[in-house]
Amino acid sequence: MENIVLCLNAGSSSLKFALYAISKLAEKKIAEGAIEGVGQPSARLWIRDSHGDLLEDRKTKFSDAHETIGALFSALERPELSPPVAVGHRVVHGGMNYTGPQKITAQLQEDLQALVPLAPLHLPGQIELIEAVRKWRPSLPQVACFDTAFHFGMPEVARRFPLPHSFWEQGVRRYGFHGLSYEYVLSVLEKQSEKPSQKTGSRTIIAHLGNGASMAAVRDGIPVDTSMGMTPTGGFMMGTRSGDLDPGLVLYLLRSGYDARGLDDLFNHQSGLLGVSGLSADMKTLLEKRSSNPHVDQAIAMFCRGIRKFLGAFATVLGGLDTLVFTGGIGEHAAPVRQEICTDIEFLGVVLDPSQNEKHAAIISAPESRCTVRVIPTNEDLMIARHTAKIALSN
């Protein structure tokens, strides 16, 4: 028996969605799409079927989550699409109490409201979507799939900040993010390791590189460290986020007149690749302009250097490196970035094959490389569908 699951992945002004048919024997994506430009004068809703054929593509206006979800459910009422029996949400932060996917209840919604200060960029919109789905389809079970849940397997020594113990009790700790992506990548590695020709070592680093970017160190399938911290702002520099900074710099800016809102805007919206380049947060655009713009060149160099530093640190934590995985939009598609990250780290056993890297091959390391370097397209929606089917439809 197939169960149709609707997966929702909300951004600041867009909503990506996918329909999956989940059974004990198979997992199949039957449709995907997005609503782009939510809250803007002109929004776009599009849907493609499993063959990539466009089922709907129209421009309209959605002022809030309620209108957006209403339009989505209306658009999905098509003869060729079966209606969903459950809805799964990517929820960026679960705090210290939610260590795995959970069926959404009134209590969980209340708890999410209390967690908004930990992820103010993401949680408010995700909470609004949950409420909108409940109003439009009150009988549909909903499941929250937390991006932080994966990292609860890390040892406490990796999750603590060097602060008094009272802060740990308050929930001030390293949570980590992109957990759904890491889960999916590990599921792929597990299948590949069953093939005699593609054995995967126990010491793995996964680099999820996109507009938001992070890294996880994994030993025998268990996370041992990650780059992001208490919020998705931490780690190495990203599209518009600063990554880790000297705490003294924050104090300096506060004394210079910045308040919390100003710092939030600076660190999350004006920094990273955008801030350094002065041009764009989009890596494809930056790579095209790199040779003619020194600020762009510097931004890309800083991005790659920051990732190399984390690679070295995590290889030390793991005691070596067997497998390096690139995933996410940049990790999957930006061959020059992968090449630069892997430059001068032969001491970690990493040697790229330039031709395979340019082809975005599944394995881009050279035959003599001690570390296998892979490119694995991530699939957070499928992880959401798996969790949702298991939890919402188990009774």
CA–CA separation, 52 vs 28, rounded Å? 14
Q: Of all helices (H) and strands (E), which one includes residue 29? A: strand 27-36
3-state DSSP assignment of residue 278: coil
Q: Which residues have a Cβ under 8 Å from the Cβ of 97 and sit 6 or more positions away?
A: 111
Q: Which residues have a Cβ under 8 Å from the Cβ of 384 and sit 6 or more positions away?
A: 5, 7, 8, 9, 88, 89, 90, 143, 145, 180
CA–CA separation, 144 vs 102, rounded Å? 5
Lookup result for tokens 């929004």: 43
Q: Report residue 169 as tokens.
A: 């009790």
Task: Name the CA radius of gyration of the chain, rounded.
Answer: 21
Beta bridge partners of 216: 206, 226
CA–CA separation, 323 vs 372, rounded Å? 5
* Pick from 336, 244, 358, 255: nearest CA to 291: 336
3-state DSSP assignment of residue 49: strand
- 147 annotated active-site: yes
Q: Provide the b/e sequence for 190-205 (b: ≥16 CB within 10 Å).
A: eebeeeeeeebbebbb
3-state DSSP assignment of residue 260: helix
Q: Cβ(245)–Cβ(254) under 8 Å?
A: no
Given the residues 49, 53, 111, 147, the one annotated as active site: 147
Q: Of all helices (H) and strands (E), which one includes residue 357? A: helix 354-358
Beta bridge partners of 18: 7, 32
Tell me the angle at which helices 123-136 and 106-114 cross, rounded to the nearest 10 degrees: 160
Q: Cβ(96)–Cβ(171) under 8 Å?
A: yes
Please give the positions annotated as active site: 147
